[in-house]
């Protein structure tokens, strides 16, 4: 992802406009927040857990009430795009109470995935599930998203400004990893290690279709070619040395993006929406740092994007889109959380 601290100057904001379905509106949910970057809703509740990029705090929002005490406060390095980036709940969260985060540990400097057990709003029993992911690139190309699908944990990593590493299937950088919930490598991975797909530059968003193992990713390009990808086992997504804009990429049998934005938009974390809004159901939605939400209109099998459409613009920088309490479509900006509801 382009540096969040400078992205606003690199992406021109769209004019204030809306192509939302009739009889829907944007509603402020909780404002005055400190750079929320990823959200996870506790099933069957009004509770949203979210990560604050720069403070290292895992915050708890019950309805519109922000708990004063953080669930956990991690010692993060937040230079550039580093920080407390991704969050996911175990698919059987009601039973396990397990919450996972991806973050940049300050000392020793590295990216980790850490698991907590949530009790009474507090994150307890910390355990490193994935450790030792390089964070030595000066603060950029970190990846940072985590997502459960089919009982497995998917983790996106950036290539740390080393394009060649994205093409090396025995290296964890520039990849989407697939792991068991305890961090071990599951059967069925294509390279007999944690790597699920490769050839990624900076995959900043991950989503899945509920009830399936269909995985979707957004990826931030260089001065061109931001991407939306449907992720398949063992595929090469084309980033590497001497990449040329507008091509399928480099390396063996590269797969071109499902959607390519030649003029950069800085896409962020998407979601596959199944919720209360019938007019929005059944597609993938992604925000961008220019303040827009795009609808990725999928084919019948949800394996390909037929077309994409901006449904909302004129917001501040959008960091995450997800289904939240009440079944509405929620999105986070750098200073709050809003949602799309019926009028």
CA distance linking residue 258 with residue 23, whole number of Å: 31
Q: List CB contacts of 278: < 8 A, sequence separation 6 or more.
A: none
Tokens encoding 54: 């720069």
Measure the CA–CA gap between 90 and 97, rounded to whole angstroms.
7
Three-state SS string across the chain, please? CCCHHHHHHHCCCCCCCECCCCCEEEEEEEECCCCEEEEEECCCCCEEEEEECCCCEEEEEECCEECCCCCEECCECCCCCCCEEEEEECCCHHHHCEEEEEEEECCCCEEEEEEEEEECCEEEEEEEEEEEECCCCCCCCCCCCEEEECCEEEEECCCCCCHHHHCCCCCCCCCEEEECCCCCCCCCCCCCCCEEEECCCCEEEEEECCCCCCEEEEECCCCCCEEEEEECCCCECCCCCCCCCCCCCCCCCCCCCCEEECCCCCECECEEECCCCHHHCCEEEEEECCCCEEEEEECCCCCCEEEEEEEECCCCCEEEEEECHHHCEEEEECCEEEEEEEC
Q: pLDDT tens track of the chain, all 343 residues?
A: 444 443 443 343 333 445 899 999 999 999 999 999 999 999 999 999 999 999 999 999 999 999 999 999 999 999 999 999 999 999 999 999 999 999 999 999 999 999 999 999 999 999 999 999 999 988 999 999 999 999 999 999 999 999 999 999 999 999 999 999 999 999 999 999 999 999 999 999 999 999 999 999 999 999 999 999 999 999 999 999 999 999 999 999 999 999 999 999 999 999 999 999 999 999 999 999 999 999 999 999 999 999 999 999 999 999 999 999 999 999 999 999 999 999 9
Report whether the peptide linkage leading into residue 108 is cis, meaning its omega lies within 30 degrees of zero.
Answer: yes
Query: 150, exposed or middle or buried, with CB in 10 Å at 0-12, 13-18, 19+?
Result: middle
111 in Cβ contact with 134 (< 8 Å) = yes
Burial readout 295-315 (b: 16 or more C-beta within 10 A, e: otherwise): bbebeeebeebeebebbbbeb
Answer yes or no: pTM beyond 0.75: yes
Output the CA–CA distances (angstroms, integers) from residue 107 to 76, 111, 130, 132, 296, in the order listed: 8, 10, 16, 11, 39
* Domains detected in the chain: 4-342 (2.120.10.30)
Q: Note the pLDDT of residue 19.
A: 86
Torsions phi, psi of 166, nearest 5?
-65, -25
Distance CA 106, CA 76 (A): 5
């Amino acid at each position: 992802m382009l540096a969040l601290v400078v992205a606003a100057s690199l992406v021109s904001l769209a004019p204030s406009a809306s192509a939302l379905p009739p009889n829907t509106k944007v509603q402020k949910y909780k404002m005055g927040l400190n750079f929320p970057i990823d959200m996870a809703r506790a099933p069957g509740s009004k509770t949203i857990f979210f990560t604050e990029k720069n403070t290292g705090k895992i915050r708890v929002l019950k309805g519109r009430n922000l708990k004063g005490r953080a669930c956990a406060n991690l010692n993060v390095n937040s230079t550039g795009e580093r920080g407390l980036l991704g969050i996911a709940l175990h698919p059987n969260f009601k039973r396990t109470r397990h919450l996972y985060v991806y973050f940049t540990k300050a000392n020793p400097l590295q990216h980790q995935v850490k698991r907590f057990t949530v009790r009474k709003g507090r994150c307890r029993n910390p355990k490193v599930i994935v450790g030792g992911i390089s964070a030595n690139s000066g603060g950029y190309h970190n990846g940072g998203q985590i997502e459960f699908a089919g009982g497995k944990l998917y983790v996106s990593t950036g290539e740390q400004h080393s394009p060649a590493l994205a093409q090396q299937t025995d290296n964890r950088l520039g990849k989407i990893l697939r792991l068991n919930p305890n961090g071990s490598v599951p059967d069925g991975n294509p390279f007999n290690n944690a790597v699920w797909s490769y050839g990624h530059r900076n995959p900043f968003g991950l989503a899945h279709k509920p009830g399936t193992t269909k995985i979707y990713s957004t990826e931030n390009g260089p001065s061109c070619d931001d991407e939306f990808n449907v992720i398949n086992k063992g595929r090469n997504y084309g980033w590497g040395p001497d990449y040329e804009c507008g091509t399928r990429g480099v390396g063996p049998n590269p797969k071109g993006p499902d959607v390519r934005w030649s003029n950069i938009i800085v896409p962020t974390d998407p979601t596959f929406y199944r919720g209360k809004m019938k007019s929005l159901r059944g597609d993938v939605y992604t925000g961008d740092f220019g303040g827009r939400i795009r609808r990725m209109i999928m084919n019948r099998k949800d394996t390909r994007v037929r077309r994409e459409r901006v449904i909302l613009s004129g917001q501040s920088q959008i960091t995450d889109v997800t289904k939240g309490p009440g079944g509405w479509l929620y999105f986070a900006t750098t200073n709050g959380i809003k949602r799309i509801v019926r009028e």
